[in-house]
A and B are shown apart, each in its own frame.
Chain A
Amino acid sequence: MALASMSPMDRIMAVCHHEIPDRVPFLLTSREFGLRYAGVKHSKAYEDPDVYIGAQLKLLKDFQLDGVWDIWCTPAVDEALGATMEIPDDDPPWITRPCVRGPADLETLKPVNPWRDGRMPYLLDVVARLKKAVGPDVPVIAWASPPFRTACMLRGNTELYMDLYDNPQFVRDLLEITTESCTAYGKALVEAAPTSSRPPTRSPTWTASRSSTSESSPTPTASACSRR
């Protein structure tokens, strides 16, 4: 491998593929910190994409990071599936109330469409705009909720753990729905910002997006993300 300086994208992807980068990547987990560093409240980031994007760009510049992060909203899948999510004034969103009281509730629970349901289209739009803003040489690192975590949010942690013993088939049925939904959101995150042909990382819940060679792709808007 050449010792010439790598771009942040190449550096991060080298690590993801168990290759040796030119130096240790510098990657702060910077969603919440970024907003506070920029002096803005969390709640504003969920109303105006530019608030969040501006915060990430400021961190990128001031700290010379090797990547930026998607807007934190792992609970967005949970919310779209029916759980109650709260966005505090200055804290990340969280699930305040599960929605699956028992097997009967599975009848009305359907896998979600990330391009249409809940606030996922907004989040995908933020990711797309962020990717356009940082360009092809900086990875955007995004999170998709693991299916078991979403099942816990829908059912309640303690309740689901006990369901493993009391009614394992119910847990399997719930996990089928959450797996399909979480996978769909993960794929949508990759699709929201055009990707390269590099093979996927080992962690199914961590996707890094990379620009295509085309520079003429318009920035997706919220309406463009609302696919039917």
Chain B
Amino acid sequence: MNIAFNVSDLLGILPVLIVIAFAALCALAEVFAKPGQSRGFVGTLGLIGALIAFAANAWQWHGLDGAYSVPLFGGGLVMDAFSTYFNFLFLAGTALTLVLSTKYLKEHGSDLGEFHALVLFAAAGMMLMAQSRDLIILFIALELMSVSIYVLVAFVRKSRRGAEAALKYFLIGAFASAILLYGIALLYGATNSVELTTIRRALDADPSLANGLLVRLGMVLVLVGIGFKVALAPFHLWTPDVYDGAPSPVTGFMASCVKAAGFAVLIRVFTVTFGYDAMEFGAGGNGWVGVLYLLAIVTMFAGNLAALPQSNVKRILAYSSIAHAGYLLVGVVAGSFGNLTIDTEAAATLGPNGAILFYLMVYAFSTFLVFSALSLFGKDGEEHTHLSDLAGMGFRRPFVGLALAVGMLSLAGMPPLGGFFGKFYLFREAMLSGRPEVTILVLVAIVNSMIGLYYYLRVLVFLYMKEPTREVPVYSSRGATTVGLISLALVFLLGLFPGGLLTMAQRGIGSLRPVVTTPTASLTATEPQTPPAASRQAGSRAPRLELKAPPAQLKLATPINLKATTTH
């Protein structure tokens, strides 16, 4: 394969490029800052970068036509509504994190411009994770995200716990990355490719290979690598320590964006690529869904039960994030039943996955709402996020209390907040998949969300029903207020008018379907056909992206008829 990229390939990753450029700018700006000068301007620079990237992303979103995806760089990357949806999430999360952290860093004596650079680097990694259709690029993007996050966790120099958490995260993260890489190697060994479409084609062509030991082991190892990042039990043990030790804005960033990136990969790699024969369980089929099924149950219980006795809000939120990963896994399981290649079932499987996309967005804003308030508790490297530190805060700082309370209620899934609708929609879609085993899973999830209420409400009890026992430093910050207000508005809006975002999520998930191959494709077809759209773009030098599907491809936009169309 030759060097196959041109301007339109670069335009396809325009938001990523902008983010990386601004990350470098931020790092550079730090060099020119005078000692002792406030680094707020670096944060502003980063924010501008995130917003420009957001605008570029919006431009892509509008340019993309329906459920259509554009391969970039010869297929290693892709720009589709799915990745663009996730980019919205990452960029919004990045912007909120940057706004939230400016004052935080000052209060904790770590006002360094590199923070903003690293947040942007991490964002670039996440965006590429969502866009990659190549396991090597995926791995490097994941490392880009992880390395940045490792440093961010340890960013507050005065915090001993932060350093300890970062070290732990780094050590186990390196372990998990190695496992992931080994899994990728095994998949490469089995299919002679690291490109997801080619892998899929190879698996489709040879069922005995797809069900074989090699592929299975490779998938398990990949699953462990990704499961570590999204904190699935039993790979979740680092989560409470790291979430607790990390600076609060970073914890928020991790809970919302890192998790979302992991799920983007999970959907693209598992639901779409390994969708082969997913429902067969045991020796007959590949049956990876069964593994996720068990993981979902274990994860939900591990998160919710372990959260019960916690007395530190950040640890509670860490376990809650584990539990939410479990709920999301319910969606992945439900959405993976029925092969994505089979037209008739495609529509049924899209629902739960679309619900995951919606849920992730709502979860992100609920998390930021909570952390916009929680990040205010503390000073000089020490965060005061014990439950008793919150006592009486609902009346002493009404808006801080309101943000925490609404955020917790949204995470708990109380109507009319976004969290309720996300959960409701996810479970509903899962139920509609119509399989009894999924119904049982949904029941388990509902039982779990009831258990969850206990610890979310405990926070409210402390906020509004306990007298403060000691004085804790709580600073005020316009940035945090802004983040809080934006998130608050969105949490309510998404609960009351989820229609717009739902349409976006469905469009996003709809764009995954073109990763479909003809059953006749052979194992030797390592060279993917050049898709018409790509060749057209390669031919035209027009600087503007031509993203509209050619007429022959138009039937892709209609939801169901996909049979025997090869576009990748």
* Chain A bound to chain B: no
